[in-house]
Structure formats: C-alpha cells, structure tokens
A and B are shown apart, each in its own frame.
Chain A
Amino acid sequence: MDVSQYLEVFIEESKEHLQALNEHLLILEKEPENENTINEIFRAAHSLKGMAGTMGYKRMQRLTHDMENVFQEIRSGKMKVRPELTDTLFGGLDALQEYVDNIVDSQDEGTNDNQDLIDKLAMELDIGLHGGSGAAAPAAAAAAPAAEKPAEPAKAEVASGITITYADHEKAAIIEGSTQGFNAYEVRVDVQETCLLKAARAYLVFKALEETGEIIKSVPDAQMIEDEKFDFSFAVVILSKQSAEDVRKRVMNVSEIKDALVEKKVFEEPKEEVKEEAAAANTAAQPGTAAPAPAQAAPAKAQPAKKAVVNRSVRVDIEKLDDLMNLVSELIIAKNGLSAVSASDMKSSTEKTNQFNEQIEYLERITTNIHQSVMKVRMVPIESVVNRFPRMIRDLSKKLNKPMELYMTGEETELDRTVIDEIGDPLMHILRNSADHGLESPEKRRELGKPEVGSIFLDAYQEGNSVIIKCSDDGGGINTEKVKQKAIEKGTITPEQAETMTEKDFIDLLFKPSFSTADKISDVSGRGVGLDVVKSKIESLSGTVECKTELGKGTTFTISLPLTLAIIQTLMVVIGEEKYAIPLGSIDTIEDIPINEIKSVEGREVVNLRGTVIPLIRLADVLDIPNVGPDGETLTVVVVSKSDKKAGLIVDSLMGQLEIVIKSIGKYISNSKLISGATILGDGEIALILDANALL
C-alpha cells in the first residue's frame, strides 16, 4: 500500500484535528462536564488515530490510541477531569504535534516513543478508574504487549481455516516468479484477540511483507482488511526471495501478532514442497480450483526515500475557483471580441474606435474581477494563526503562576497568505510580553483592586484598506520612568536627551534593538530581543506597529497591515513634470482650497478644513521637483491620514484612480522612506509610489 500520495491530506487533516483537540481540551479544562466537548475530542482523537494507523505511523498511532482510551473513560463518565490529567493530555498533544512536524520535514514520524507520556496516561487511567490502587495500568496495557493468551487452540482453528483460491493470472504470476528465483509463500497471520487495531496491525504486516517481496493477493482482500472486516486472522500470498523463516520473523516482529504461518506454494510441480512453521497446518491450497476472484494484489512499490519537503498548500473554497474559471472564460470571450473588431472592416474609423473602447471597458471589468478573485483565493482567515494562542496563554498562565484569560474577537478577518505566515511570531511575542511583563501578579492585582484574573485581548478587524490587530492587556502598563532610567543606564540616551523626550519617545525606545526593562530574564521574555524584531518584521510586511500605554491601566499594541501586497489602488497625481501614485488606502479626501484660506502657524502652512486644522505639505519641495509653476487661484490638496494624524499634500493636478502593480526600485538605489516602490504605467513610463505615512 503506497500511502505517500495521501501525505499532504494527512498532514493537513492532522493539523486540523490537533487544533480541534487543543481547543476542546481547553474548554474541557474549564467545563469538565461538557458532554459535547468530550464527544468532539473523542471524535478528533479517533480520526487522528485511524489516519496515523493508515499512514503507518506507529508511534503516533500508539500515543493517540492511549489518549483515546483516556477520553473514552471520560466520555463514559468513569473518570473525572483533573488538572494533572489535562496537563498530561496537553503534553500528549504536543508530542503528537512533534510527530506531525517531523512528518512534514522528513515524511517520517521520528524515533521518539514518548514512553513517559504513555506511562503517564496509563497512570492517569489507573488513578481515574481505580482510585490509584493498582500498580499497573490495566486499560492502557491492552495496547502494550499484553499477556499472551494460550494460543494453541485458536491457532489451529483460525490460521488454517482460510482457504486460498487462486485466479489464473495469480497462478501465472507465481509460476513466472518461481522461474526468476522467487518463492511463493502463503502467509497466514493470527492477530491477538486483545488487539484493538486489527486493521493497523494488518497494515503493518502488509508493510513488513512488502519489504521482503511482492504481495500477490490476500484473503480477505486488501480493502476488507483495511476496513477491519475480518476476525482475527487473514492470509497473504507473497513472492519473495527470502526463506520462509525470514518471512515469518518479519511478520512476528509486528506487535500484537499472535502467530504467523508461512507455507511455500508451488504450482505445476509434481512435488509440493511444503515448509511448515510453528503450528501444524495442512490445509493445502487447491491449485486446480481457480476461482475468478478480482485481483486485489496490493502493488508492492518500494517506497522511495523521498526527501519530502511537503509543499505548502492552501485550501480553497471550490466556489472561489469556479468564480475564477468563469472569469477566465470571459477573458477569452473578450479577447475574441477584440480580434473580431480588429478584423472587421468598418466603414468609419470612429465606429471602430467605439467598438474597441467598448471591448476594452469589458476587458477592464474582467481583469478587476480576476484580481479580486485571485486575492480572495490567497486570503486566509487570521484564525489559522491565532487559534494556537489560547493554548499558549494557558501554558503561560501555569508557568508564570498568574491567572489570566485571553479574549479574542475577529478571528474570521482575512489576510493575505504571505502575511499570515509571517505574522504569527510577532503576535506571539507581544502576547508573551503582555502575559509576562504586562500583567501583575495576582497578589498585586488584589492590592490594586483589580480582578485577580488578568485579561488579555486580541482583536482583529478590517479598517479601510488595512487590517488592524489590537493586542491589549489590563496590566500595569509601561513605566516610562523606568524605561528612561534603563535607557540612560545603558547609554542608549544621555540624561540631557532624556529631558527633552516625550512619553511617546520613551515607548519608541522599546522598539530599539536589545532593549529590555525586565529586572530579571525569564524564559518567557525579557532578553531584549523582541520588540525590535516585531517591528522590523511588521515593517517588512509594509505594516506599522504602535504602542499606547497607561500606567496602572494597561498597554495596547496596534498592528496595522495592508490587506494586499502586490496590487493596490492608487490616485495618480502630477507634480511639475513628474507623476506619482498615492495609495488610495491612505487618502481621506481631495480638496480644492482657495489660496487665501491658507494660514501660517509657526512657519508652517496650515488650512482649517471643516473645523480641523491640517498642516499642508508641498510635495514639490519635499521631493525636490524642478519646474513647478506658480500657485494658481486654488490649490489641489490630497488629504492623507494615518491613525489620527492628517496632512494635506499639495499637488499640481490629479490624473485619476489607477490600479497598479508594485515593483521594487532595486536595492542599490538608496531608498528614502518617501518612496515605497515604483510601477509601470500603460505607456511604459515609470511612476513612483509615495508612502503617505512617511510624510506624516
């Protein structure tokens, strides 16, 4: 059975099941009586076990099996959920995760048996069921190599009871094999009656046999065995160059196999050489009675040792793909329309131009839609990143001895796949900071009259063209005085500099490399490699991170990320003879402002716009643009904003809205923050993209 083709599905689904287990276990920890949850857990564990078994990951299956045993007892009400038990179970989930990670890396589950966990689970079962009296773990022991029952009677009945009939082509295969030095063996296998996973054992037997030779057929057929539709025995016919004894040894190496019987099978030879093993069995196969049974021989492909770095994949809603397909069909129609117009011989050229324009408009509509569809396909709900955080906070809560609770909203907010992949670590870092430094100890919280259980909030939502992720806590906030002391102590700033710095400046210090205010370094955080990495990571995604804090009340980190990366909507503006693109996402309004409304405050030009005073920025000056004409009666002002800051950019004229593809301007040219990239316009000309945020 070659299962490598299912690997991707297996990994994807294992991850889902593990996530579900994590989530529900968290619920179970709080509501030990929640029946739905325990059912859900049981289902997930069971599926996981089955999948691991089918894929031949023995260790993973074994561990899941033992965990499932525990869930089984909880479900039937024989066991209570205790904190130690959930700890062990969480430990089990981590171990399973490790297996899956190993499989992703190398297609192999690794060699860690996690015996300690299995023992612990057995102990938990024991304590749960018998009040801890028994020394051994009876239930779990069922999975371990259990006491072998006297096997003699069963053997005689079961193993030899299978009659193997051969179809013509099977016979032919055996005969042909024998000419090439392959011996045909009938292998009859008995599985222990105590075995819970017969199909898995059978699979392992198949696998072991595939290593020795080629499987011709099995009774019952492979599908039935896979579905566990057999009692405790089955038979396999293989072609192998090895001796019967070697084949038998291989089969017996599989645990929970009671006995195996290997007989050599020879066709069309006068002397039937029967080699007998272990038990005396003499049900000779009937060479003559060839029943036309469907060939069920499992192809014995030697699994190539693929360096299987499993591809990253996205699950895409089939509807989204259908959409895309439809649009592509339309694209083809539009293309045909265009060629039809160009081929037709119209009388007047204006008529032709009109037709062209019509087709181009149509084409434009389609490309916009295709862009949106493709973007949608790339969008992944942020849930896939944040859903591991409740578990992390739980562990942190135990580790730090601080009761805390994580509240999340907006997990369904979607972000581009590339962003999702990168955002996990920064978020985790900020949450760890909140848990470790943000929240006070429960004693202190009681003193301060706060609820003992600390709260951490993670909110995600869409705002305009960006996604905001807010991470806040109700802890002590950042002590800027302390930051100041530390900064002076470390020589980051001089005391004189400190005098002139604002509260915000001090907070910005936290984003500087290797700056930590923690008095002691814990393994949770405080090493000072952190917020600077967070910042650079988020900036590399062209996002921003801001921090607001109130001493005694808490801290809020606000991360803002662009919705899409490669293609954006912009407003094209003209200044002098140059064209620039301003991302639509940062534009508030566009105003025509009479020149006499411009006032000067502290040497800066400002304008009072419907009650708000907005500073004006002359882009021609900032960008050193030559050949700018004198001001007219009114100025065209593009009002841009970033969180609560606003500014009006003075431009010469507007060209209109344009969807552009962002290109880098290369690494050699020094890039002031004003220019975030370039794009190529329809006529081949390059327009630079202004980063309005850098102007504010």
Chain B
Amino acid sequence: MKTIESIQGKTIPLNRADVDTDQIMPKQFLKRIERSGYGPFAFYEWRKEESFVLNDSNYTGAPIMLAQQNFGCGSSREHAVWGLEDIGVQAILAPSFADIFRNNCSKVGLLTIVLDQSDIDYLMSRAEELPDSQVRIDLSSQTVKLEGSDWQRSFEIDPFVKHRLLNGLDDIGITMQYEDEISNYESSRSSKKPDTSSAFEDTMKVG
C-alpha cells in the first residue's frame, strides 16, 4: 500500500445521500477477476445522465470526493472502492459512511473523513459554485483546509488506521507478526467447534 501524507486538489460534489455500492459499481462488473481497471465502470448508470457530476469536466482528475450521509451502504463489494481509486479519488469527505465500505477504504488506502453536516454542505456548495476551489487534507495533523481561506477543520481518525496509512503498512503483514498469539489461541481453542473437513465428503444429510 502506498503512503498517504497529504492530499490536495479539487473536490467532486456528489450531493446525494445513501449512495449504495450497487450504484458505485454495478453487479455486471463484479464478474471480472482482476484487481484493477474498474474506473470506467464507476457509477456506470448515473454517468449516463448528462448532468451527473462525474461528467462535468470541471472536476476531472479531482482527488477528493464530497458525499452525503451513509455513503457506501449496501453490498460489501470492494470493487466499489477499487473503482473510486481507479478514477483518482484518494479521499472522501462525508457526514457518515457505511461500516464495511469504510473498512474497505482503509485497506485499500483511501482516506474517509467524517465532517459535520454543515461543513460538508459548505464544501459542497463551494465546489459547486467554484469548481477550482482547492482543498488540502493533512493526515498527520488531521486537518482539512480550504485553500485561500481561513476555513479549516480537524477530523478524527482511528489511530491505528492513521498509522497504517501514514506508513503504507500492509495489514496482513502486521497480523503475521502475532503468529505466536494466534497459535496460542488455536491451541487453547475448544475442540468442540465445528470444522469443514466433512464438507469434502460426497454425502448429504440434512435435517
């Protein structure tokens, strides 16, 4: 995973609430077994609407997305995050996010930032009126700043996620350092718990 320190650039005002991952990455594109190349399919249906914000060349290449509450709800498909990553989104600012989506973002290295509704509404209207407005996010100091103005806010982030993003650390690599703890847990784990070895057998008994 690459490291994130600061992100600066234009913002895309996606002014809709409860945007679900079926919209971000429709199912027909989940058949691919590759990990990259999802950008062209992001918001596939909505992009057919001429007025959709991603069709506005003013926002092309913007690294920051502004969204409304409960962004990323629904299906767990990480393909949604891969699609956003592929169109160049590095951070998303919203009043709230769905849990699985936010988790997926943190694994992929996309920063999700929760700001108050009024702050999101302010940034949203700025981006709509002045698409060239620049926002700067600084991860170490946990601040979001609207360049060329006094507007600045601090944000919360899970300290562990921050540490991983700042250092570009692979989660699995971290967990693998705890091999002893995992083995210890396994040796004291109840033998009564089910396993799936019988699933290899070619028999079926139900009920």
A-B interaction = no
